[in-house]
Chains A and B, each alone.
Chain A
Amino acid sequence: MEDLSKLSLVEQINGLKLKKFSSMELTEFYLNKIDQEKVLNSFISLNENALTEAKKSDEKIAKNKNSSLEGIPIAHKDIFCIKDQKTTCGSKMLENFISPYSSTVYEKLSNSGTVNLGKTNMDEFAMGSSNETSFFGSVLNPIDPERVPGGSSGGSASAVAANLCSFATGTDTGGSIRQPAAFCGITGIKPTYGRVSRWGMIAFASSLDQGGIFAKNALDAALALENIAGFDEKDSTSINKKVPPFFDQAKLKDKEHIVGIPKNIIEDIKDEKVKNNFYESIDILKKSGVKVKEIDLKNIQYSLPVYYVIAPAECSANLSRYDGVRFGHRCDNPKDLDDLYERSRAEGFGEEVKKRILIGTYCLSAGYYDAYYLKAQKIRNLIKQSFMDAFKEVTSIMMPTCANVSFKLNSIQNPVEMYEQDIYTIPANLAGLPAISIPSGKINKLPLGIQFIGNYLEEGNLLNLSNKFQQNSDFHNE
């Protein structure tokens, strides 16, 4: 039998439709693979009902009642609540939390006919860039098991890269989809803030969090994204706009692109190999008929400090509900109320989460609010404005996804060095813009990614550009 996991999503859908193989076969294939690759630690939990779901899909396919992604086995980042299943968010705090409801992203993909293989590993509460903060252990990069897959959606990235699922969901607050996609040599898209509902997606920083997709290539990502995007009345920040056919848009042949190159940022790339790769990528674009234009993106250099005020501030409030009272970890024999709070939270949260709660609490405290939070919000608006100015001249902006390739496990000890992992990805979150990372080559066998940032609601444009790049390169198949 051929290696079904190497087929693209589109090929799998066709194979199922033409009954070349069944969803049961495909699902079993993946389950076996997951079992063989256990060492990667990509999954926190597996769905015991995966084969039952696959069987139902096969019955629907037999009756020609299949939905758009019928029978496709996928994996969900363990940040998406699924009814009656464990949803841990990578934390001891929620080690035994069984959600009484499902997230919109899960519901939508379930309604599209996907088979849920299980929940993927992640940095605790999505706070991290290496997947090393997970309570459930580090995830290995399938390209080089001594290295990290990136984070926070490290489990999803490693699962897609190791062909343990057809595609996977992820979330991106400061780069948590794009950076791991780059480290693992796959395609990852974070849509416009508000494009994908946050209902049931456990909050880290509400104004930055956005759900998205890991896939083998831009076309697969387009098809998957079509199935999770859309207005949701349960999320007040959800955008009430019709979702265009991303897949069709991605395939359009004559779409014109003017790609902006922020020269101030590119000139500052420290690693020459990364810089060279970036220029080689520009050449590939040019060869495929894409126009390129140098631009100036102002204030982008402040993105990292702004992010590390706003994200911790929001997380400090978002994580207050984990108090040991109603759900989640609760300490043994609390003496009194304060003891219950203090020990439950001290025991339930890991170091990185505690660090960020403390930073956030500090930034919001009386006397510091104006200097930190309010100032950060002002600069955030300036960054947004810089992008808006740029989009008057160009249709998308190209940047590296990350300043480096994947690093070895436990090799980064300095937190600021770790935070700098997201230096190129954070600006899109601050502005709420859609962004995609696609493979652009390798340094010493380790993948590199480039990133396209688009204007609001222009995911179709980004996917089209990415598809064009992938038609003229082979990095995504390596």
Chain B
Amino acid sequence: MNNTWESVIGLEVHVQLSTESKIFSNAPTKFGQTQNSQASLVDLGLPGVLPVLNEKTIEMAIKFGCAINANISSKAIFARKNYFYPDLPKGYQISQLDDPIVGEGKISIEIDNEEKFIGITRAHLEEDAGKSLHDKYENLSAIDLNRAGTPLLEIVSEPDLRSAKEAVAYLKKIHSIITFLEISDGNMSQGSMRCDANVSIRKYGDKEFGNRTELKNINSFRFVEKAIDYEIARQIEIIENGGSIYQETRLYDANKNETRSMRSKEHANDYRYFPDPDLIPITISKEKIQEIEKSLPELPEQKIVRFIKDYKISEYESKNLNASRELSNFFEKVAKKISSPDLAAKWILGDLMAILNKNNSEIQDSKISSEDMINLLCKIEEGSLSGPGAKKIIELCWSSNESIDNLIKKEGLDEVKGEDEILKIISRILEDNPKQHEQYLNGKDKLFGFFVGQVMKETKGSADPKLVNKLLNKKLKQ
């Protein structure tokens, strides 16, 4: 976007771990419940309460560490991060400073068909804060502590990203890793994955980093790209006009698509971290790490390779099908049940994705189940349903609650039809249109389309166009 300036980006991604209960209390972590109904005595920070670690969070963090080939610390220490805020009940957040559970690792992303490695500095466990609601009551702020104590894995990258596009690719990769590992639902709209971006610019070739700003509160792939692009442009404009960038925290406003200053470095908090005396250091044995490593589910990279091999699909298709665990599982369910799995890849990535996109839906919310897809594709394979017919059914199926078989019957798409039947129809059409037949035989090739149309009309689109072409060719030339 600019030949003079190179942008340097590092991301801090907060991933909500999908445990049943909170990281330091037994309150449930369910989303969307009545305010403060999911907050226990511990989450409320009452006098005398104590945190007890949910061991599942340690396992999940180790899983992530193994998946990115990172060093797993042999001990994990929780620390208190001190600051005052109304939705932080204890006046400190239990987090990690020294000895984070996951150490250095790396993640590969693909950018313009090239692989690039992004360094991971660390990933540590911490508890989430609650929510302050400022516009619910007039002149009052309300506090909902349902989210307080929800386990988070904070994944910190090296400043290895060089564009908003790379940042998005990196985020998508993290999303796919955590969902394949089943350690998070990765639901960004519910805040299960949030991200802060450290952004700076420098001249190409410069070794030193420029002063960076930290963008807070970004919670969708789309906003990440917009927020970073906005910030890069803002910084370039300032520097090119002779100004300087000051280290500060900026808030991204998705509605206005702008970032604005939250606090400067001078006003940055001194968090006064110290080890939490209420929690004893956790020791992690090599055996435990090995055990978890062995039980890791198949990761996207492994699945991409296997799909190409097992299902004879293209690399492009395999990558797209492995964009999320749900899509990957959907495909595999279908591919296993039909004789040509590449057909499944084409239909899922083609017509199914099209209708999902059109309806702003994810595969997990698809109204067309994997069973429906198997049903449709089997019919195509045996020739009892045409491509256009299947396409029509997918659309109808989305907008109605009827079964695939019912829809096919209703639309009369089930009447077709072997070769014999189509041949009969062709004969009848040729008899009804002798003039056109003669013109065609005299060289007016364009009329071939006319005959195809007639046949499709007669069969209400249920005939396989390829078959119709083949038979028409034969019959017209007789």
Q: Which residues of B from 320 to 352 have beta carbons under 8 Å from A?
A: none
B50 and A321 contacting across the interface, CB-CB below 8 Å: no
Given known contacts A233-B52, A236-B51, A236-B279, is B86 in contact with A101 (CB within 8 Å)? no
A326 and B89 contacting across the interface, CB-CB below 8 Å: yes
Q: Which residues of B from 27 to 55 have beta carbons under 8 Å from A?
A: 41, 44-53
In the complex, what residues of A have CB within 8 A of residue B143's CB? 325-326
A101 and B46 contacting across the interface, CB-CB below 8 Å: yes
A81 and B82 contacting across the interface, CB-CB below 8 Å: no
B91 and A317 contacting across the interface, CB-CB below 8 Å: yes
Q: Which residues of A from 190 to 238 have beta carbons under 8 Å from B?
A: 198-203, 205-207, 233-237
Q: How far is the CB of B97 from chain A (nearest CB, A)?
A: 11
A317 and B47 contacting across the interface, CB-CB below 8 Å: no
Pick the residue among A101, A314, A316, A369 that contacts B277 (CB under 8 A): A314
A81 and B52 contacting across the interface, CB-CB below 8 Å: no
> Which residue of chain B is the closest to A94 with respect to CB atoms?
B47
Contact of B280 with A by CB under 8 A: yes
Q: How far is the CB of A126 from chain B (nearest CB, A)?
A: 12
Contact of A1 with B by CB under 8 A: no
Tally chain A residues at the interface, Cβ within 8 Å: 44
A317 and B274 contacting across the interface, CB-CB below 8 Å: yes
A320 and B92 contacting across the interface, CB-CB below 8 Å: yes
In the complex, what residues of B have CB within 8 A of residue A319's CB? 91
Q: How far is the CB of A239 from chain B (nearest CB, A)?
A: 11
Contact of A438 with B by CB under 8 A: no
Contact of B135 with A by CB under 8 A: no
| A237 and B50 alpha carbons, distance in the complex (Å) | 10
B80 and A317 contacting across the interface, CB-CB below 8 Å: yes
| A361 and B270 alpha carbons, distance in the complex (Å) | 10
In the complex, what residues of B have CB within 8 A of residue A323's CB? 84, 86, 91
In the complex, what residues of B have CB within 8 A of residue A101's CB? 41, 46
In the complex, what residues of B have CB within 8 A of residue A325's CB? 86, 89, 143
B52 and A236 contacting across the interface, CB-CB below 8 Å: yes
Q: How far is the CB of A206 from chain B (nearest CB, A)?
A: 4
A234 and B50 contacting across the interface, CB-CB below 8 Å: yes
Q: How far is the CB of A319 from chain B (nearest CB, A)?
A: 8
B89 and A321 contacting across the interface, CB-CB below 8 Å: yes
In the complex, what residues of B have CB within 8 A of residue A201's CB? 48
Q: Which residues of B from 77 to 96 have beta carbons under 8 Å from A?
A: 80, 82, 84, 86, 89-92
Q: How far is the CB of B40 from chain A (nearest CB, A)?
A: 10
A97 and B47 contacting across the interface, CB-CB below 8 Å: yes
Pick the residue among B51, B86, B92, B280 that contacts A337 (CB under 8 A): B86
In the complex, what residues of A have CB within 8 A of residue B409's CB? none
B82 and A364 contacting across the interface, CB-CB below 8 Å: yes
Q: How far is the CB of A98 from chain B (nearest CB, A)?
A: 11
In the complex, what residues of B have CB within 8 A of residue A341's CB? 84
In the complex, what residues of B have CB within 8 A of residue A206's CB? 277-278
Contact of B466 with A by CB under 8 A: no
In the complex, what residues of A have CB within 8 A of residue B90's CB? 317, 320-321
> Which residue of chain A is the closest to B86 with respect to CB atoms?
A325
> Which residue of chain A is the closest to B87 with respect to CB atoms?
A325
A202 and B47 contacting across the interface, CB-CB below 8 Å: yes
Given known contacts A100-B46, A341-B84, A365-B270, is B41 in contact with A236 (CB within 8 Å)? no
In the complex, what residues of A have CB within 8 A of residue B45's CB? 321, 326
Contact of B256 with A by CB under 8 A: no
Q: How far is the CB of B338 from chain A (nearest CB, A)?
A: 52
Interface string of B127-147 (1 = CB under 8 A from A): 000000000000000010000
Pick the residue among A89, A234, A361, A366 that contacts B47 (CB under 8 A): A89
Interface string of A95-139 (1 = CB under 8 A from B): 001011101000000000000000000000000000000000000
B47 and A364 contacting across the interface, CB-CB below 8 Å: no
Contact of B272 with A by CB under 8 A: yes
Pick the residue among B48, B50, B270 that contacts A236 (CB under 8 A): B50
Which of B50, B86, B273: most chain A CB closer than 10 A? Answer: B50
| A237 and B91 alpha carbons, distance in the complex (Å) | 21
A327 and B270 contacting across the interface, CB-CB below 8 Å: no
> Which residue of chain B is the closest to A91 with respect to CB atoms?
B47
Which of A206, A317, A337: most chain B CB closer than 10 A? Answer: A317
In the complex, what residues of A have CB within 8 A of residue B51's CB? 236
A236 and B274 contacting across the interface, CB-CB below 8 Å: no
B52 and A234 contacting across the interface, CB-CB below 8 Å: yes
In the complex, what residues of B have CB within 8 A of residue A99's CB? 46-48
| A103 and B41 alpha carbons, distance in the complex (Å) | 12
Pick the residue among B41, B46, B272 that contacts A365 (CB under 8 A): B272
Which of B49, B277, B280: most chain A CB closer than 10 A? Answer: B277
Contact of A26 with B by CB under 8 A: no
In the complex, what residues of A have CB within 8 A of residue B86's CB? 323, 325, 337
Q: A203-B47, A236-B50 are in contact. List 14 more A-B contacts (CB 8 A).
A: A81-B47, A81-B48, A87-B47, A317-B82, A321-B47, A321-B90, A323-B84, A326-B44, A326-B45, A327-B47, A361-B272, A365-B272, A369-B272, A369-B274
User: 7 pairs across A/B with beta carbons < 8 Å?
Assistant: A87-B48, A100-B41, A103-B48, A316-B272, A320-B90, A320-B92, A326-B45
